[in-house]
Amino acid sequence: MALSRGLRCCQRVFSWIPVLIITSVVLWSYYAYVFELCLFTLTNTLEKVAYLLVFHVCFVMFSWTYWKSIFTPPASPCKKFQLSYSDKQRYEMEERPDAQKQILVEIAKKLPIFTRAQSGAIRFCDRCQVLKPDRCHHCSVCETCVLKMDHHCPWVNNCVGFSNYKFFLLFLSYSMLYCVFIAATVFQYFLKFWVGDLPNGPAKFHVLFLMFVALMFFVSLMFLFGYHCWLVAKNRSTLEAFSAPVFVAGPDRNGFNVGIRRNLQQVFGEDRRLWFIPVFTSQGNGHYFPLKNRSSESRNPLLANEDMWEESDDGSEDGGLVEDQDPSVTIEMGE
C-alpha cells in the first residue's frame, strides 16, 4: 500500500514536467523579447512602446487561458448519476448478476441517457460507481469520470472536457497569436543579426532562437488548433472522432451535430462578446446534449428539454423525475 502511494505521488510530481517546460519557455521568451529585443536592441521609442504594449496584451491573454486550462477542475457526474447509499447497499448485497443489472436499469430510468456502449449496453463505471451521462468517459490519469471528456492533455496536466474546453481552445488560439506576433516583429531584426548588420552580443542569441522557437510552436499549434476547430464545427470530441458514439439505433458520428451555429454556442455561449474571454459561458450542465435526431427525445418528452431535467435545490437523488426506458436493455460493467 505504501509503495503504491509512493508511485502515485511520483507520478503526480512528474506529470507537472510538461507544464514546467512550457512555463520555462514562455518566461524565457518574455525576457528575450522585452529586455533583449525591445529594451536593448530597438532604438525607435515609438516602435518600442507599440511592441511592448501589444506583446503584453498577447502575453496576458495567453497566460490567463493557460492558467484556466490547467487549474479548472474537470467536471464529474452529479449525484443523480451516482448510486445512492440504499441503491449501493442493495446492489452490493445482491449476488445475482442479472438482479444487479436490473437494479441499475431502475436507476437509469430517471436519467437522460441516450448513448450506449459498443455492445449496446447502458454505460456504467464500476470504479466511480456512476451511470455515465452522454459523452462522459473515465480518465485513468485523473481517476474520475469526466463530463464531455475530450482528452487528457499532458501539456496542461489536466483533462480537457466540458468545464474547460472553451479555455483550452482559447489557449491554443492565443498561443498562436503570441507566436505570430513574436515572429512578425522579430523577423527584421533576425535578418539584421543574421547578415551582421547588428553587432554581436547576448541579444543576437536570444533573437535568433526566439524566431526559431516561435515558428516551431506556431506550426505545431496551427495543426492542433485547426483540428479542434473542425471538431467544434462537427460537435465531436477527440474520443468521438476516433470512436463514434453509439445510440439505440447504432453508431453515429454526427449524433450531436446540430449545426455549426448551435455547435459553436454549446462551447462558447450565446453572447459573442464573451467568446474570446476565458470565462465559462458554455451551454448546459454537461449531463445532457441536444441530439441531431430528436426522434429519440420526442419519445421521452421529459428529456426533450434539458431545462426540465435539473438537480433539485434540496439535493434529492431523484428530483421527482421518473420516466420509463426499455427494461430489456442491459448494463455493461466496465469503464
Read out DSSP for 19-77? HHHHHHHHHHHHHIIIIIIIITT---HHHHHHHHHHHHHHHHHHHHHHHHHHHSPPP--
Phi then psi dihedrals of residue 199, to 5 deg? -65, 150
Task: Choose the catalytic residue: 136, 139, 145, 153.
Answer: 153
331-333: strand order across its sheet: 130-131, 122-125, 331-333
- CA atoms within a 13 Å half-sphere pointing along the CA-CB vector of 216: 7
Through-space distance between the first and last CA atoms of the chain, rounded to whole angstroms: 24
Residue 145 C-alpha cell reads as 469520470
**β-pairing, 115-116 with 246-247?**
antiparallel
Strand-pair category, 144-146 with 331-333: unpaired
Rounded to an integer, what distance in angstroms lies between the CA atom of residue 97 and that of residue 180?
58
Q: Annotated catalytic, 78? A: no
**Under 8 Å CB-to-CB from 197, ≥6 apart: which residues?**
191
Instruction: Give the cell for residue 196.
Output: 551582421
Please identify every residue annotated as catalytic: 153
